[in-house]
Structure 1
Amino acid sequence: MATPLFTLPISSTGGTFTCTNPSPSAEDKTIYILTFTSPKDNRLTPTFIDAFLLALDILEHRYPRGVLITTSGIPKFYSNGLDLKLAQSTDGFLDKWLWKLFRRLLTYPMPTLALLNGHAFAGGLMLAMYHDYRLQNPAKGFLCINELEFGVPLEAPMMSIFREKLSAVAFRDLVLEARRFGGPTAALEAGLVDGLADSVEAAVRFVRVRNLQTKAATGIYGMMKEEMWRHSLGILDGHAENVAWRGRVEGRKKREDQIQSGSLGTRTMQM
């Protein structure tokens, strides 16, 4: 029987983050299950992220180091990504909220595991990739980066984590084909997930088999991850530089299009 530790509200949706131990036994006291339930599909909004960050702070500073499993209390979705309209209308959403959450997870001083109970689309899959491990429900749910389908280009930190963690072929198929990876084999073969699990109990077994709950005991786990993922961290921390680079690329493309358009117009008049 799960042992409750704390619950935090998500004010915008009436949802919650609830943290539990899988059981009262001594060996489970450093395995933390953080379940988020934010109707209807766990969108990554400022209030959702604020609650997530607070939960991570509470676990780090009030409880012994162990291992963190995140999952959803909504059976159909792990997370359906950003609320695009809200993200675009919220000043500084990327660097003040989304990149902050990604950075916190990537350097978190204990192992993190995303239990993907259902769909993880777009920002929801990015969120999962910023964990150390991922387990997918073999019977339902797809993993997908589908920005290509609705015409929203990916920002640098949205790309970098996939580039670092996937093969070039899987990275291409995920981003440039918007391919949907389902269970029980596609996501596993592509390296998007580390295994299959259809329940919290199965995820806990994965943790025990790998003895993950002891890995943070020496206090250097977060430091090791900072070195391991320094390229992605540099991209997360370089938001202004990333925006400036994109502006230069778009400016060059615009100038080239204008030159090409002028050249075509001249040739048309000569014909």
Structure 2
Amino acid sequence: MIEVDVVDGIAVVRLAHGKVNALDLELCRAIERTMRGLDDKEGPVQAVVVTGAGRAFSAGVDLKRVVDGGAAYVAEFLPALSGAFRSVFNLGKPVVAAVNGHAIAGGCVLAAACDHRIMASGTGRIGVPELRVGVPFPYTALEIMRFALGPVGARHAIFDGANHEPEAALALGLIDELSDPETLLDQAVAVARRMATDIAADAFRYTKAQLRHEVNERLDRVAEPETVRLWTTAATDGRIRAFMDRTVGSGAPTQPEAP
């Protein structure tokens, strides 16, 4: 489900869950558990690179699980999804996303939670089409996108709901740089190592916490019964199923698991 390789102080965390690394309850819990383990101040890991196995970084939430599980699954899944996002967002060491393919919806948010994002050129797409699926953003995802893109950029990305080619994503600020697919991981590791060696670990951790302080204060205060209700409604009224049917039929880059 998650593979971790540590080489010379850099942990490469690879999502390896199904065909497109869809975010379900088990993967979200595994992400949070893995990231919290890597955040040990006294541990040997100096920085983290997050990437995906296969052709996708992550194609987003496993919508089939949401539809099949209904209200009970939604009530358990959404907090786990937010926990996974926050564990990446708040990890006190440099975190670099090596976006090796599609990073859709939750996959895009996961990349946005990292400190630096590098995407392979090619056929992968990145974006946040949640509203096109018919579900609202969990508050954690909304805050992370606003942090990564600024309020104007986040508003445009969220209401547009488009998935972008790598070059367009770079122009929009969804990613920070492009790489050849063959050198993506090496480039991400080099950036992570540079961030870890150029900045003292305690100064990096403290400054990262400062930058995220207001976001975390807001997240700690929020409750999301309306988000849960709207996701449950979407799981049962046919809109998620209709999106899945449209996506499969169109040959679009999103898969049945994604938004």
1:67 corresponds to 2:47: yes
CA distance in 1, matches of 2:215, 2:71: 23
Secondary structure of the 1:196 match is strand
- Map of 1:81 onto structure 2: 60
Question: Residue 82 of structure 1 aligns to which amino acid in structure 2?
Answer: V
1:18 corresponds to 2:40: no
CA distance in 1, matches of 2:191, 2:221: 35
| Cα displacement (A) at 1:144 | 1.2
- Map of 1:47 onto structure 2: 26
How many positions carry a matched residue from both structures?
220
CA distance in 2, matches of 1:31, 1:238: 34
> Which of these residues, 142, 145, 149, is aligned with residue 128 of structure 2?
145
If each structure's helix is expressed as a fraction of its own residues, which one has the higher value? 2
Question: Residue 190 of structure 2 aligns to which amino acid in structure 1?
Answer: R
CA distance in 1, matches of 2:163, 2:176: 17
Question: Residue 57 of structure 1 aligns to which amino acid in structure 2?
Answer: R
Question: Residue 200 of structure 1 aligns to which amino acid in structure 2?
Answer: L
Between structure 1 and structure 2, the one with the greater Rg is 1
Q: Deviations over 1:184-235 (max 9, x none)?
A: x211111111111222112223335xx2122674334333222212232123
CA RMSD of superposed structures (Å): 2.5
Secondary structure of the 1:162 match is helix
What does residue range 87-98 of structure 1 map to in structure 2 within 5 Å? Answer: 88-90=71-73, 91-95=75-79, 97-98=80-81
- Map of 1:194 onto structure 2: 176
CA distance in 2, matches of 1:47, 1:245: 20
Structure 1 residue runs of 5 or longer lacking an equivalent are 1-15, 22-27, 248-271
Of the structure 1 ranges 147-156 and 55-64, higher mean CA displacement relative to structure 2 is found in 55-64
CA distance in 2, matches of 1:134, 1:87: 33
1:120 corresponds to 2:107: no
CA distance in 1, matches of 2:36, 2:199: 16
Q: Deviations over 1:148-178 (max 9, x none)?
A: 2221122322212222221454323311111
CA distance in 2, matches of 1:218, 1:149: 41
| Cα displacement (A) at 1:110 | 0.4
Structure 2 residue runs of 5 or longer lacking an equivalent are 230-259
Q: Structure 1 residues 221 and 140 mapped into 2: Cα distance closer, same or farther (>3 Å)?
A: same
Contact kept in structure 2, 1:30 and 1:65, CA below 8 Å = yes
Question: Residue 223 of structure 1 aligns to which amino acid in structure 2?
Answer: Y
Contact kept in structure 1, 2:10 and 2:46, CA below 8 Å = yes
1:36 corresponds to 2:18: no
Q: With a CA cutoff of 8 Å and minimum separation of 6, indicate the structure with the bigger relative contact order.
A: 2
Secondary structure of the 1:92 match is helix
